[in-house]
């Protein structure tokens, strides 16, 4: 494998609206991000990914872009962005922005021109079909519920949107549209970006010609995934985008890729893959149900272990996965993967190390490094996320009571990860001097960065130790490029694996509150990381405390 500059890096995702507010308007902004760069550098972060801060009506919190060349005034100015790029470079850090090119906003100039003249050049930037009174062009259901078709204002046509109705899908079959996208990507790379995280990219290729599929719910619609399974040829688009943009700049690109087939992994992240890396969503998809969130199963420690090892085995040394516990589209990982009632500093550290030591690029989502948890929901009036609102209605339609439906969707709501960053125990968790756009999680008095900064036993300090271990000259070659070999896979609620390179490291996590034992085949040289003060070993038999994590140099 050709070594690239991003292989040994640690990444951190910022959700700008909820990270740090510099002007007291209750919304996080770019100057606020700049003020926290030293915090991120001290954590060990090399790459920062910003969720969208482009001009947007925020129908889907910025993933509906109305101008790809402008910063939304809520977040600051283009001068602020230029300063952010400069300040990250001063700290030898790289900045990624979100590349959202499956769709734009219905307030984008392209869509406005398509409405004015659907038969003109901009009409072909989108998927338009003649409106028929008796039926929709297809029976596909959007990701946010309801049909994927809506009326094109002022015309006799309808347009396709696989997400929100204010997010019309862009027609990648049109070379003129692709040229506009490449021009914008290169404009940002010329500004000094280190690369992009690429949103919802699998959706850019549709199965043509459009047709109906078998309905999978009582609404008579089918999941848009039924169509995507039949869509062939996305590689032509992705390969062209790579060659016209990222490759020319040696830029880092990480794809939001779902449902890839094992044989496609070399195409996506191999030696000349479409992307530098792609996220591993295997654990995030565990327990999901086609019926909806209300029917989703709890993810057990055994599920989590199986998902991680499946992804590692499937990828091998073909390329680099980007490993996550959570992101802006998921609930908090410690609330999802740690058994209910067992969230504590020890279990959070264990989960952190199990993910961080996997082969691939570790991504930390804001607040993950201090162990932020899901927020308590008492009413649907507190919900901002459009996906949660849809899933609540799905649960009601399935016969759940309002109380049951609220409980069902609260567990998986995207709002769990979008509450303001908990900086301190001061007013509004130190996020803003004004009224925060979303309520702060009430546990900020107990869980905040300030309280953990000088506490060597804190979750934050443990993340710093993990980052330092990954960068340690004696171990970085093994952690970054070494193979991963699971061990004791059949021992319940134990997740353990070797990382083998020029050194041999053993990662052992007791994924339960009860103690359990493992016997090493041989002894160990030293303990590299331990979330307890002691290690109990006799005749190579280790007695593990509840949620103990050990990283041993074998």
pLDDT digits (tens, 9 = 90+) for 236-282: 999 999 999 999 999 999 999 987 878 899 999 999 999 999 999 99
Q: What integer pLDDT is reported at residue 69 of this predicted model?
A: 98
Q: Are 283 and 337 in contact (CB under 8 A)?
A: yes
Place 151 in a pLDDT band, splitting at 50, 70 and 90. Answer: very high
Q: Which of 61, 106, 256, 280 is catalytic?
A: 256
Closest to 250 (Cα-Cα) out of 515, 541, 5, 554: 5
Say whether 70 sits in a helix, a strand or coil.
Answer: strand
What is the pLDDT at residue 261? 79
Q: pLDDT, tens digit, for every residue of 117-144? A: 999 999 999 999 999 888 899 999 999 9
C-alpha closest to that of 37 among 8, 70, 5, 14: 14
Q: What is the pLDDT of residue 362?
A: 98
| pLDDT, tens only, 168-227 | 999 999 999 999 999 999 999 999 999 999 999 999 999 999 999 999 999 999 999 999
Q: Residue 414: count other Cβ atoms within 10 Å of its Cβ.
A: 18
DSSP line for 445-486: GTS-HHHHHT-TTSHHHHHHHHHHHHH-TTTHHHHHHSEEEE
What is the sign of the dihedral through the CA atoms of 141, 144, 147 and 150? Answer: negative
pTM metric for this prediction: 0.97
The model's confidence at residue 161, banded by pLDDT at 50, 70 and 90, is very high
Q: Residue 172 has what pLDDT?
A: 98
In the predicted model, what is the mean pLDDT of the chain? 97
- For position 133, what pLDDT does the model report? 81
Residues 251/259, Cβ–Cβ less than 8 Å: no
Tens of pLDDT, residue by residue over 409-428, are 999 999 999 999 999 999 99
- Asked if 369 is an active-site residue, the reply is no
Q: How far apart are CA 161 and CA 264, in angstroms?
A: 26
What mean pLDDT comes out for the span 450-466?
Answer: 98
Please give the Cα distance from 90 to 25 (Å, whole number): 28
- Cα–Cα distance between 355 and 380 in angstroms, integer? 32
Question: What's the pLDDT tens digit per position in 287-297?
Answer: 999 999 999 99
pLDDT value at residue 258: 86
Query: For the chain, give me the number of helices (H) and strands (E)?
Result: 17, 23
pLDDT tens, residue by residue, 7-34: 999 999 999 999 999 999 999 999 999 9
How far from each other are the two terminal CA atoms of the chain, in whole angstroms?
Answer: 26
Confidence of residue 100 (pLDDT cuts 50, 70, 90): very high
Would you state the pLDDT for residue 56? Answer: 98
Average pLDDT over residues 314-322: 96
% of residues, the chain, pLDDT over 70? 100
Asked if 210 contacts 136 with a C-beta cutoff of 8 angstroms, the reply is: no
Phi, psi of 47 (to 5 degrees): -125, 130
pLDDT, position 1: 80
Catalytic residue among 46, 98, 199, 326: 199
CA 127 remoteness from chain centre: 28
Least confident of 131-145, 346-360, 540-554: 131-145
In tens, the pLDDT along 48-57 reads 999 999 999 9
Active site residue 199: yes
Q: Give the containing element (helix H, strand E) for 241.
A: helix 234-244
């Amino acid at each position: 494998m050709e070594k690239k500059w991003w292989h040994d890096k640690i990444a951190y995702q910022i959700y700008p609206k909820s990270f740090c507010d510099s002007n007291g308007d209750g919304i996080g902004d770019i100057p606020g991000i700049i003020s926290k760069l030293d915090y991120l550098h001290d954590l060990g972060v090399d790459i920062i990914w910003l969720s969208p801060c482009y001009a947007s009506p925020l129908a889907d919190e910025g993933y509906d872009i109305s101008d790809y060349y402008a910063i939304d005034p809520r977040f600051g100015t283009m001068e602020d962005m230029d300063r952010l790029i400069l300040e990250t470079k001063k700290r030898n850090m790289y900045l990624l922005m979100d590349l959202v090119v499956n769709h734009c906003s219905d307030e984008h100039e392209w869509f406005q021109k398509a409405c004015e003249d659907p038969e003109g050049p901009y009409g072909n930037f989108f998927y338009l079909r003649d409106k028929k009174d008796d039926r929709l062009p297809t029976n596909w259901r959007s990701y946010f519920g309801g049909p994927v078709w809506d009326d094109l204002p002022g015309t006799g046509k309808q347009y396709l949107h696989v997400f929100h109705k204010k997010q019309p899908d862009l027609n990648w079959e049109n070379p003129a549209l692709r040229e506009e996208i490449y021009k914008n990507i290169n404009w940002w790379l010329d500004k000094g970006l280190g690369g992009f995280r690429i949103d919802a990219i699998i959706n850019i290729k549709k199965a043509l010609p459009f047709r109906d599929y078998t309905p999978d719910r009582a609404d008579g619609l089918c999941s848009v995934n039924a169509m995507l399974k039949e869509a062939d040829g996305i590689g032509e688009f992705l390969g062209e985008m790579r060659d016209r943009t990222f490759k020319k700049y040696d830029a880092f690109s990480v794809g939001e890729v779902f449902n890839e087939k094992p044989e496609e992994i070399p195409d996506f992240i191999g030696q000349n893959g479409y992307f530098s890396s792609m996220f591993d969503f295997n654990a995030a998809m565990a327990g999901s149900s086609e019926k909806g969130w209300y029917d989703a199963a709890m993810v057990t420690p055994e599920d989590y272990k199986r998902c991680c090892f499946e992804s590692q085995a499937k990828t091998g040394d073909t390329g680099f996965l980007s490993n996550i516990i959570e992101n802006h589209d998921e609930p908090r990982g410690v609330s999802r993967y740690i058994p209910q009632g067992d969230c504590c500093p020890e279990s959070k550290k264990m989960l952190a190390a199990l993910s961080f030591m996997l082969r691939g690029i570790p991504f930390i989502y804001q607040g993950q490094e201090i162990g932020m948890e899901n927020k308590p929901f008492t009413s649907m009036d507190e919900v901002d996320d459009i996906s949660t609102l849809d899933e609540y209605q799905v649960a009601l339609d399935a016969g759940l009571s309002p109380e049951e439906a609220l409980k069902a969707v609260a567990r998986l709501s995207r709002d769990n990860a979008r509450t303001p960053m908990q900086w301190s125990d001061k007013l509004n968790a130190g996020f803003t001097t004004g009224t925060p756009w979303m309520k702060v999680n009430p546990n900020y008095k107990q869980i905040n960065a300030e309280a953990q900064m000088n506490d060597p036993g804190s979750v934050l300090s443990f993340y710093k130790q993990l980052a330092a271990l990954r960068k340690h000259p004696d171990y970085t070659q093994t952690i970054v490029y070494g193979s991963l070999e699971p061990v004791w896979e059949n021992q319940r609620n134990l997740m353990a694996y070797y990382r083998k390179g020029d050194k041999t490291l053993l990662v052992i996590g007791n994924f339960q509150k009860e103690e359990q034992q493992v016997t090493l085949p041989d002894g160990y040289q030293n303990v590299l990381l331990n979330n307890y003060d002691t290690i109990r070993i006799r005749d190579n038999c280790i007695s593990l405390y509840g949620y103990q994590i050990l990283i041993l140099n074998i």
